[in-house]
Structure 1
C-alpha cells in the first residue's frame, strides 16, 4: 500500500482490479489457442488491456507487488499480440498471461480472505476459476 491509501481503499482497489482481471478470461484465451485452428476473438485485446490497466492502477500490498507487475507485463504482451492479430505470438503470450494470472489471482484472493478474517483451507482460488 502507498502511504496515502487506507487499508479499506486498498481492499476496494484490489476487489475492483480483480473483477476486471478475472473477467478477462485468461484461462479461456489460453485454451482457445490450444485448439486445432485457433481464432482470435475480437474482444480479447480490449479485455486483456483493461486487465493490464486495472493491475497497474492500484497500490498492491507489498507482498503482491511483484506478481502484479509480472501479470501486468504479461497481459500487455498478450494485448499487443492480439491487437496485431498474430495467432502464433498471441498463443505464446496467452500461456504466459494465464500463468501470470494464476500467480496473482490466487495470492490476492488469499490476502483478501485473510484481511476479511476468513479462514482459507485448500485452494482459495477454486471459487474464482474453474478448469
Structure 2
C-alpha cells in the first residue's frame, strides 16, 4: 500500500554516498526527520494516488504520487542529493514535477522539491 522509495533509495550506491545507506539512510517519511539531523537529508510524503480499478476484478496495482524534499547546507550539495535520488527512483518510477528551489533565511537551509508517480504491483 506504499511506494518503496526508502527501499530503493537506501540500496542505491549514489544515494548512499551522499545521505547514507541501509538503515542509516537520511531519507525520512514526512514529519519523522530528527530535529538535529545531519544535512543533507531528504523527506518524502504521499500527496495522492489511486488503485488501478477494474469492473470485474480487484485492482492489481496502485499509483502513488509522492513529493520529495531535499535539504542541505549549500545549493550544490542539495542539488546533488536530489539528482542522486532522481537517478535511483527513475528506474522504478516517473518524475512528474520539478517543484523548485528555495532557501530558508533564518536557518540558511537550502531546499529542492520534486514529485514522483510510482506504480506498485500488488
TM-score, structure 2 as length reference = 0.29
Richer in helix (by share): 1
TM-score, structure 1 as length reference = 0.27
